[in-house]
């Protein structure tokens, strides 16, 4: 490194965000960005570790640590510090097909495992990554990756989320003719309709999709394989098929009153809002999925729960509560959660920070179990009955025990279920005859990503379960390498 002890002279600085009260009135991006010279100072803090944990890409204690796609972080930090932005982009592009996505929505496990983070605030990796790719776009360095020649092999990719797009991009680069099928009306999967616009501007997603189309990838929308296109014809036409269909089957909450109107899946809520926004108008206040003028309860946490909180605020909800059955995380790492594991600590994400600014407190209530949905005489939701629980771990399992006297009735006209997902939807998989594992995901191992059906591969959330965008990119790249090996008998893909 040009400045190996930069961390001793400069403290961590991160880009700010738009003012909380201002931004909840629109759907524009919330992120602000540091100017180049300050980013170069931040890059100077990187120590060029002998063992850079930031790009190890492992799962420790059930959570990601380091970069799953093994970004060459110390290398491009040094290049940014020295003002060599084009060279930094070349390093970044070697490992990450879509740095603009990860630079905005990734929770940055790379920063959590930064060696500097053992004793000091870690290097500001994520904003530097985003700055590199945005400068590359601005300077015209990001161009269609046209293959030198076509191999004559055809591949179908089912699903256009980050795994499907990464797989298609890699296969196209080595000359295979790739068609991506998407059952929705737009390409991008959760990137386009699942993540709210203020978190990931849809113009950024469309910009990348347009570039992939220029490179020669064919995109087909409004087509559901197994319904609109038969699986037998698909297998006859393509030398390989890659299933990147996501884990879209939501976990339900089977308690009394589940039939009442006003209870919806979190993803349905988010998708409805984004679809209307993409069509040029906000969700109407009288729409069943609108939070306008309603007491809203979000059941569940994670990114999906946070996005629901932020979206409900922008609809103009009257009140907002987010319930989590787990106890409140500690303010600092617990003894059983050491570096470089992902820190299981309390924090205000963007949605909760906005809710706190609007209503005066963190909307989350911890250690709460939902016991009954309450309705009126017309079958409409009017509230939720809950009870506080004690969390006890025993025999490797966590059990929850109601605490007598803590029962409570909470008003609600809209409840959003953000309880995670239980694997991919099954009809297409059943038609193809692919096996599922014990978690109901597609059974396909690494590094071959192959299912039990010859020529059928799987990647992304459909294979490994609900996860991060950066893991989906890794999965798509890995599956592309396996498909290239299958079709050609050898591969040069990373």
pLDDT tens, position by position, 210-225? 999 999 999 999 999 9
Among 139, 171, 193, the domain boundary falls at 139
Q: Is the confidence at residue 414, as pLDDT, over 70?
A: yes
Q: Are residues 57 and 96 in the same domain?
A: yes
Q: Is the confidence at residue 1, as pLDDT, over 70?
A: no
Whether the Cβ atoms of residue 429 and residue 390 lie closer than 8 Å to each other: no
Q: Is the confidence at residue 2, as pLDDT, over 60?
A: no
Among 381, 401, 417, the domain boundary falls at 417
- Angstrom CA distances, 319 to 294, 296, 316, stand at 7, 6, 9
* pLDDT for 192: 97
Q: Is residue 147 a part of any domain in this protein?
A: no
Q: Is the confidence at residue 397, as pLDDT, over 90?
A: no
Distance CA 261, CA 414 (A): 9
Please name which of 117, 109, 116 lies closest in space to residue 57, comparing C-alpha atoms: 109
Please name which of 196, 200, 206, 221 lies closest in space to residue 272, comparing C-alpha atoms: 196
Q: Is residue 327 a part of any domain in this protein?
A: yes
Q: Are residues 351 and 430 in the same domain?
A: no
Terminal alpha carbon distance of the chain: 26
Tell which wins on pLDDT, 160 or 393.
160
Q: Are residues 278 and 330 in the same domain?
A: yes
pLDDT tens, position by position, 440-459? 999 999 999 999 999 999 99
CA 276, distance to chain mean position in Å, is 21
Q: Is the confidence at residue 231, as pLDDT, over 90?
A: yes
Q: Is residue 258 a part of any domain in this protein?
A: no
Q: Are residues 413 and 434 in the same domain?
A: no
pTM comes to 0.96
Q: Is the confidence at residue 253, as pLDDT, over 70?
A: yes
Among 417, 446, 471, the domain boundary falls at 417
Q: Is the dihedral of CA 205, 209, 210, 212 positive or negative?
A: positive
Distance CA 142, CA 163 (A): 20
Q: Is the confidence at residue 193, as pLDDT, over 80?
A: yes
**CATH number of the domain residue 174 falls in:** 3.50.50.60
- For 50-59, 127-136, 172-181, which range has the lowest pLDDT when averaged over its residues? 50-59
pLDDT tens, position by position, 270-308? 999 999 999 998 899 999 999 999 999 999 999 999 999
Tell which wins on pLDDT, 111 or 48.
111
Work out the burial of residue 106: count CB atoms within 10 Å of its CB; fewer than 13 is exposed, 13-18 middle, 19 or more buried: buried
Distance CA 210, CA 187 (A): 10
Q: Which domain covers residue 330, as residue numbers?
A: 263-417
62: confidence class by pLDDT, cuts 50, 70, 90: confident
Q: Are residues 473 and 358 in the same domain?
A: no
Q: How many domains does the chain have?
A: 3
Q: Are residues 201 and 296 in the same domain?
A: no
Q: Is residue 169 a part of any domain in this protein?
A: yes
Q: Are residues 388 and 281 in the same domain?
A: yes
* Phi then psi dihedrals of residue 115, to 5 deg: -60, -35
């Amino acid at each position: 490194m040009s400045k190996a002890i930069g961390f001793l002279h400069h403290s961590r600085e991160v880009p700010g965000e738009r003012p909380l009260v201002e931004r909840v009135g629109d759907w524009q991006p919330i992120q602000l960005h540091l100017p180049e010279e300050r980013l170069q100072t931040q890059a100077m803090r990187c120590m060029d570790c002998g063992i850079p944990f930031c790009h190890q890409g492992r799962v420790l204690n059930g959570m990601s640590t380091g970069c799953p796609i093994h970004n060459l972080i110390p290398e491009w930090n040094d290049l940014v510090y020295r003002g060599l932005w084009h060279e930094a982009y070349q390093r970044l592009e070697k490992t990450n097909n879509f740095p603009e996505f990860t630079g905005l929505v990734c929770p940055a496990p790379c920063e959590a495992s930064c060696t500097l983070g053992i004793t000091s605030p870690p290097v500001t990796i994520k904003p530097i990554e985003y700055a590199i790719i945005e400068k590359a776009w601005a300077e015209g360095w990001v161009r269609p990756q046209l293959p030198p020649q076509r191999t004559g092999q055809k591949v179908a990719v089912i699903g256009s989320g980050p795994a499907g797009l990464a797989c298609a991009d890699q296969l196209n680069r080595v000359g295979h003719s790739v068609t991506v099928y998407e059952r929705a009306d737009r390409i991008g999967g959760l990137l386009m309709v699942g993540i709210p616009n203020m978190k990931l501007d849809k113009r950024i997603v469309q910009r990348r999709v347009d570039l992939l189309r220029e490179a020669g990838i064919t995109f087909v929308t409004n087509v559901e394989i197994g319904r609109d296109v038969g699986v037998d014809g698909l297998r006859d036409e393509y030398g390989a098929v890659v299933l990147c269909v996501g884990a879209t089957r939501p976990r339900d909450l089977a308690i009394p009153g589940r039939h009442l109107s006003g209870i919806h899946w979190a993803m349905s809520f988010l998708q409805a809002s984004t679809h209307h926004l993409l069509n040029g108008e906000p969700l109407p206040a009288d729409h069943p999925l609108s939070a306008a003028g309603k007491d809203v309860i979000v059941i569940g946490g994670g990114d999906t729960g946070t996005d629901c909180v932020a979206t409900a605020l922008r609809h103009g909800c009257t009140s907002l509560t987010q319930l989590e059955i787990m106890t409140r995380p500690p303010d600092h790492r617990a003894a059983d959660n050491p570096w470089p594991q992902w820190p299981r600590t309390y924090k205000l994400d963007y949605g909760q920070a906005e809710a706190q600014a609007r209503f005066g407190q963190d909307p989350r209530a911890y250690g709460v179990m939902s016991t009954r949905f309450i309705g009126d005489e017309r079958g409409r939701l009017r509230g939720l009955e809950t009870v506080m629980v004690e969390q006890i771990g025993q025999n490797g399992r966590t059990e929850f025990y109601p605490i007598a006297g803590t029962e409570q009735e909470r008003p609600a006209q809209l409840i959003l279920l953000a309880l995670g997902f239980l694997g991919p939807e099954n009809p297409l998989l059943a038609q193809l005859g692919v096996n599922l594992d014990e978690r109901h995901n597609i059974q396909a191992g690494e590094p071959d990503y192959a299912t039990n059906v010859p020529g059928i591969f799987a990647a992304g959330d459909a294979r490994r379960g609900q996860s991060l965008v950066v893991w989906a990119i890794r999965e798509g790249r890995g599956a592309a390498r396996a498909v290239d090996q299958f079709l050609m008998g050898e591969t040069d893909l990373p």
